[in-house]
Amino acid sequence: MIQNKVNFTNKDLQAIFADSEAASLQTLSGFADGFKKALSHRGTQWGFTLPWVDTHHLLRIRPGEVSGWVGINGHGKSSVASYVLTHLTKQCKVGIASFEFSPSETAAMMCTQAAAVDHVADKYANDFMSYIEDRCVWYDVCGNVEPLEAIGAIVAMARWGAKVILVDSLQFCGVTDDLEREKLFMNQLVGLARALDIHIMLVHHVRKPPQGGDEYIPTRFDVKGSGSIVDQVQLLLIVWEDKIKRSARQKQELNAPLTEKEAKALEKPCAQLIVTKQRNGEFEGALGLWTGKGRTFKRPERAPAIHLELS
């Protein structure tokens, strides 16, 4: 686990960017490998895959990019991001900087999501501890941090070997009260992702819905803060839960009568993962998700729960 206080200064940050800036002026022979790699990626999907097989040709988590995972408070954006990150451990090392939940809480959620059950057996929990030890690292700080601390945590996790890093959330990084600081911070995240060849998953909120409350499905124009967040991330995903369906399912369990609206909601997905921007991919649109035990998500509805094999 990373130490509570990362020993990190502006000089360290400058050194990281200096390494990538040192050879900014080049002829093509100086970046031939990158040129050939970019050519090989054109017209294809590349990067780490999401848990759902039918999305592999639509959407990827690519090193060198920043993704925004946004939504209304209480609509499951952190849960969906955690679920994706848990399954990414089969493909790469990951890191978590959650400023709202302790490492114990986030690890417990990952374990239930991996097991796809609400109550994890002791054997699976022990096996999960062994499995995750060299695959995931946590930044053990809760509450607000300075922007430089957040950046330091990302760099430390990348140096540990993490290729995908979850930052949950932007509001704890000390920049959302100043649009210029927020813009600068986003610039730094994008630069770090490229310089360190990592993917940064950034959780963030949307503004209070103008009408409809929880029924309102946000768009890219509802993201809180400056437009730099939407402009600078390469991938923007909106997580929205159908609260009417949630209520209907609860009433079903109690054998309570449903309204016509609730009955229709039962036929729809429990949530939507809306791809509203994908700079290096063609697909944009909504992916329906159905919730399951252990705060898991599947698609389609009748698909079996995805159980993470700990090997």
Tokens of 51: 């848990």
d(CA 185, CA 220): 19
User: Which residue segments constitute the domains of the chain, with CATH numbers given?
Assistant: 46-298 (3.40.50.300)
Handedness of CA 52, 58, 63, 64 (dihedral sign): negative
Return the pLDDT at 99: 96
Predicted TM-score (pTM) of the model is: 0.90
Q: Tell me the per-residue pLDDT of 103-113, one tens digit each, with 9 for 90 and over.
A: 999 999 999 99
Return the pLDDT at 33: 79
Instruction: Look up tokens 């054997």; give the residue.
Output: 123
Continuous segment of H or E residues that includes residue 296: strand 296-298
Return the pLDDT at 200: 98
Return the pLDDT at 51: 97
Q: What phi and psi, each to the nearest 5 degrees, are found at residue 293?
A: -60, 150
Return the pLDDT at 156: 95
Return the pLDDT at 8: 62
Return the pLDDT at 63: 97
**From the centroid of its chain, how far is CA 21?**
28
Q: How many CB atoms lie within 10 A of CB 291?
A: 20
Q: Tell me the per-residue pLDDT of 30-59, one tens digit each, with 9 for 90 and over.
A: 778 777 777 766 767 899 999 999 999 999
Look at residue 24 and give its three-state secondary structure: coil
Instruction: Encode 97-142 in three state secondary structure.
Output: EECCCCHHHHHHHHHHHHHCCCCCCHHHHHHHHHHHCCCEEEECCC
Residue 182 DSSP one-character state? H
- The pLDDT profile of the chain, 311 residues, written as one tens digit per residue, is 665 556 666 777 767 766 655 556 778 887 787 777 777 667 678 999 999 999 999 999 999 999 999 999 999 999 999 999 999 999 999 999 999 999 999 999 999 999 999 999 999 999 999 999 999 999 999 999 999 999 999 999 999 999 999 999 999 999 999 999 999 999 999 999 999 999 999 999 999 887 778 999 999 999 999 898 999 999 999 999 999 999 999 999 999 999 999 999 999 999 999 999 999 999 999 999 999 999 999 999 899 999 999 98
Q: Tell me the per-residue pLDDT of 87-105, one tens digit each, with 9 for 90 and over.
A: 999 999 999 999 999 999 9
Burial of 247: CB neighbours in 10 Å, binned 0-12, 13-18, 19+: middle
d(CA 277, CA 300): 23
